[in-house]
Amino acid sequence: MLTGSIVALVTPLTKHGNIDYNELEELVNFHVESGTDAIVAVGTTGESTTLSHEEHIDVVAAIVELADGRIKVIGGNGSNSTSEAVQLTEKMTHFGVDGFLNVTPYYNKPSVEGLIAHFAACAEASDKPQILYNVPGRTALDMPPEVVERLAEIDNVIGIKEATGDVTRVEELKRRCGNQFILLSGDDPTACEFMLRGGHGVISVSANVVPTQMKALVDAATRGEREKAEKIDAELRELNDALFIESNPIPVKWALALMGKCSANYRLPLTPPSEDSQLVIERALEKLHLLK
């Protein structure tokens, strides 16, 4: 099952902008040792939009190899071009990913029928499980529960990463899609309540920084232990806010650099955070005793 505490892993880069595979290995080992349930490789947080398709595939392949069966790996296979998404799906299927995370086609804003045809084509390209990804703040396209219900009829469409921050969708998605359809929060600030209402886990940016605490939060919330879950959530609230003070993954990479886990290198148009944002991120890490 692709549930639990799932990290949306950053993609480390060298100062020259190349993939840093040494740091990538360290990050994968960090999450294995911390008890993270799965890794999303080359999603939004992994800077999928700034990597070439060849790099995208190479990084996912490297993470699968580095994981070596110790942790599940979900490959990001989204694109606003159906043919490109299908190509990514076909190529990544062959080297052992455990499933895919497929974002709604961004920018071109397809009709409902176009949206369904897009995901159906990706699902047909592989027998691996497909998780839908709804993030209207980035794609300018919301995928409402009635559309998700239709897509859930596809055999290997097994769940959704719901990143609207609207926790009331949990109940409706359960009603429409059934209890076996996996519901994952894609919004760290509201993930605790999402899971307490019946969600099965989170695909988390904050888990890059606090994997052990995020695992504990997910375990408590999915067991319905509200008091324990809310206590952990309150401890992470300032960090969750700080990691979204600028566009993801700018703040989380900066945080990891301060922790000595990853160099703060980006590809344009992403740039380092402003000085004010740097202070906010540093203060949040300091409160959690995470500074190196």
pLDDT interval class at 269 (50, 70, 90): very high
pLDDT digits (tens, 9 = 90+) for 117-158: 999 999 999 999 999 999 999 988 999 999 999 999 999 999
pLDDT interval class at 92 (50, 70, 90): very high
For residue 11, say whether it is annotated as part of any ligand binding site: no
Please enumerate in sequence order all residues whose Cβ is within 8 A of that of 123, keeping only pairs 6 or more positions apart, or say none: 130, 154, 155, 156, 157
pLDDT of residue 147: 97
pLDDT of residue 292: 72
Per DSSP, the residues of 256-273 read HHHTTSS-----TT--PP
Using CA atoms of 214, 37, 101, 193 in order, give the dihedral in degrees to the nearest 10. -40
For 97, half-sphere exposure in the C-beta direction (CA atoms, 13 angstrom radius) is 31
Whether 128 is a known active-site residue: answer no
Catalytic residue among 128, 161, 253, 261: 161
Using CA atoms of 32, 218, 205, 21 in order, give the dihedral in degrees to the nearest 10. 10
pLDDT digits (tens, 9 = 90+) for 211-259: 999 999 999 999 999 999 999 999 999 999 999 999 999 999 999 999 9
Catalytic residue among 72, 91, 128, 133: 133
For residue 104, say whether it is annotated as part of any ligand binding site: no
Name which of 190, 152, 192 is nearest 174 in CA terms.
Answer: 152
Class of the 4-287 domain? Answer: alpha beta
As a whole-number percent, the residues of the chain with pLDDT over 70 amount to: 100
Contact 107, 140 (CB under 8 A): yes
Task: Summarize the confidence of residues 165-192 as an average pLDDT.
Answer: 97
Whether 91 is a known active-site residue: answer no
pLDDT of residue 145: 97
Task: Summarize the confidence of residues 172-190 as an average pLDDT.
Answer: 97
Collapsing DSSP states into helix, strand and coil, what is residue 76?
A: strand
pLDDT digits (tens, 9 = 90+) for 80-90: 999 999 999 99
